[in-house]
Amino acid sequence: MCATCGCGSDGVRVTLVGAGTETHQHAHDHPHEHPHSQAHDSAAGIRTHTLELEEAVLARNDDLAAHNRAWLDERGVTVVNLMSSPGSGKTTLLEKTIAGSTRPVSVIEGDQETLYDAQRIRAAGARAVQVNTGSGCHLDAVMVRRALDELAPEHGSLVVVENVGNLVCPALFDLGETRRVVVCSVTEGDDKPLKYPHMFGSADLVVLNKTDLLPYVDFDVERFESDLRKLQVGIEIIPVSARTGAGLDDWQEWLTNV
């Protein structure tokens, strides 16, 4: 079990989606030193042990993420970590991104189960690896490295990591990415930045999706942008509609300049 968020860490599957698809079982490398005596310690002792284990988990992940970053830099590969809550429209945005990109795009898909999103990405014309996390609620640097080994991205290409839908835990785990992007849809409500400050505070860009629905939902764009800038004064925000294509040129331009 991951001490950071309590999610399971066993049974991770990394699948290269395409002809002759094979699934590989991997238990990822979180430390598992749990002395049985800890169960009988005082409440304060348990909290201390949990904190130490959490720090060890994150420190090991950061070390592995640094190795990922060096590996990617050597190959001239750009990685964008795309994070959001479920249903924000990340996969639809990626389908449109693939169609309009001027350089090769490949995708690492993170979900607890199914190959649905990776199959959509492959149908859109990009290579895809699906990482199924089982009970896990985020990707980590180990999972991403295994996916990169399967994907073998070409020099100068763009890799997008579509992280597990969750506005909490993915923000804590460095994957070795070049940039972090948070996608938020207008159907989720305008209060999300201050409710999930670590996620939005660590982003390099926020994409506000489903803007075609603004006439039909109670979403205050000015409040959303104001709250974001309480977390990061200079944060860039790109409003888009992945369904209609509005704003996608600005999104593609941002990707080109990453």
- Any idea where the domains of the chain sit in the sequence? 13-18+40-256
Measured in degrees and rounded to the nearest 5, phi and psi for residue 216 equal -115, 0
pLDDT at res. 22: 55
pLDDT at res. 18: 83
pLDDT at res. 54: 67
How many Å from the N-terminal Cα to the C-terminal Cα in the chain? 35
pLDDT at res. 10: 61
Q: What is the CATH number of domain 13-18+40-256?
A: 3.40.50.300
Pairing of strands 179-185, 205-209: parallel
pLDDT in tens, 186-237: 999 999 999 999 999 999 999 999 999 999 999 999 999 999 999 999 999 9
What does pTM read for this prediction?
A: 0.83
pLDDT, tens digit only, all 258 positions of the chain: 565 566 665 667 788 888 665 555 554 444 434 343 333 344 445 556 556 766 777 889 999 999 999 999 999 999 999 999 999 999 999 999 999 999 999 999 999 999 999 999 999 999 999 999 998 899 999 999 999 999 999 999 999 999 999 999 999 999 999 999 999 999 999 999 999 999 999 999 999 999 999 999 999 999 999 999 999 999 999 999 999 999 999 999 999 999
